[in-house]
Amino acid sequence: MVANLWIYRHFILNSVVNEIRGRFARSKLGGMWLVIHPLMQVAIYALILSKLLAAKLPGVESTYAYAVYLMAGMLGWTLFNELLNRGLNLFIENAGLIKKMNFPRVTLPAIATASSLVSGAMLLLAMLLLFPLLGFGFSLAMLWLIPLIAVVTAFGLALGLLLGVINVFLRDLGQATPVVLQVWFWFTPIVYPLDILPEAYRNVIRFNPMCSAVNGFQRVLVYGEPPEMISLIYPAAFVAVLMPIAVLAFRRADEEMADLL
């Protein structure tokens, strides 16, 4: 599987470039929408909820602290969300290619991951440009973003791949997942700080792996501190369980997939 990724590296690179080109095709702002979309969401929440929630952010004395907090959480979530959605529709969207050309299918998740990372990087870049304007500086702690992004990517990929494989055979999943993601978003402390929840709920929400991952992004970007180790270890534990299942399902499905697409 890994050897195939190397042999087909030009195909993967080409596909990622084509995909980005495809996004720019026939739209004036093209790839900018990838950045505008989450930032607009941040702006909306900041506008509506800042009065309500800003005071609740402990330890930072800035009027823009809440906006930065939102951005930090949104960065982690957007990456995860995109990977999951890409994974979910990966095989269905590429049905034409799968049926007509013989190539290792392992390249498909690789392409999806690479292009999600590219759009994540664009979002991060846009945010880093905004931060100084909002009075937030850079810190060495930002290097922690690398392992954080890695663990969120792996989690999104594992879950997305598993759902994507099942989605070929059970199309309901394609409809159900966006609904679940909506709920999941609100069960992750992105828009609100975890502390405003009553103790009992807080303990339930902590089971959510995205909760600890997003918390890591927030600590790094808002407070300039290293994340708690649990932010990396807990989601990584999920990856350790999900990834082998996803890979196994993907291998088994490989034979039957083309029959059903």
Partner 1 sequence: MKSLSVQNVGKAYRTYRSEWHRFARWAGLPVKPVDEHWVLRGIDFDVRPGEAVGLIGRNGAGKSTLLKMLTGTLRPTEGCVSVNGKVFAILELGMGFNPELTGRQNAAHALSVMEADPRAAAAAMEYVEDFAEIGEYFDRPLRVYSSGMQMRVAFSVVTAMRPEILIIDEALAVGDAYFQHKSFDRIREFRDQNTTLLIVSHDRSAVQTLCDRAIMLADGAVVRDGPPEEVFDYYNATLAENVAPEVTVTRHDDGRARTSSGTGEAKVSEIGLYNRRGEQVEAVGVGETIELRVRVRVYEAVESLVLGYGVRDRLGQVMYGTNTWHTNQVISSPSGGDEYEFSICFPANFGIGTYSIQTALVDRDTHLSANYDWQDLALVFRVENFDKTAFDGCLWNEPTIEVRSLAS
Interaction between residue 7 and partner 1 (CB under 8 A): yes
Q: Which of 2, 3, 55, 101 binds partner 1 (CB under 8 A)?
A: 101
Neighbour-count burial of 129, counting CB atoms closer than 10 A to its CB (0-12 exposed, 13-18 middle, 19+ buried): exposed
Interaction between residue 252 and partner 1 (CB under 8 A): yes
Interaction between residue 157 and partner 1 (CB under 8 A): no
Closest C-alpha among 175, 192, 182, 116 to residue 150:
116
- Span near partner 1 by CB under 8 A; candidates 111-119, 122-130, 150-158, 162-170: 162-170
What are the structure tokens assigned to 46, written together?
Answer: 């900041």
In angstroms and rounded to an integer, the radius of gyration of the C-alpha atoms of the chain is 19
- Span near partner 1 by CB under 8 A; candidates 112-120, 192-200, 224-232, 246-254: 246-254
- Span near partner 1 by CB under 8 A; candidates 13-21, 50-58, 110-118, 146-154: 13-21
Interaction between residue 98 and partner 1 (CB under 8 A): yes
Interaction between residue 3 and partner 1 (CB under 8 A): no
Interaction between residue 22 and partner 1 (CB under 8 A): yes
Count of residues that interact with partner 1, criterion CB under 8 A: 32
Q: Which of 58, 59, 96, 198 binds partner 1 (CB under 8 A)?
A: 96
Contacts (CB under 8 A) with partner 1, residues 170-209:
170
Minimum Å distance from CB 113 to partner 1? 18
- Span near partner 1 by CB under 8 A; candidates 61-69, 127-135, 192-200, 244-252: 244-252
Question: Contact positions toward partner 1, by CB under 8 A?
Answer: 7-8, 10-11, 13-15, 18, 21-22, 25-26, 94, 96-103, 166, 169-170, 248-249, 252-253, 255-256, 258-259
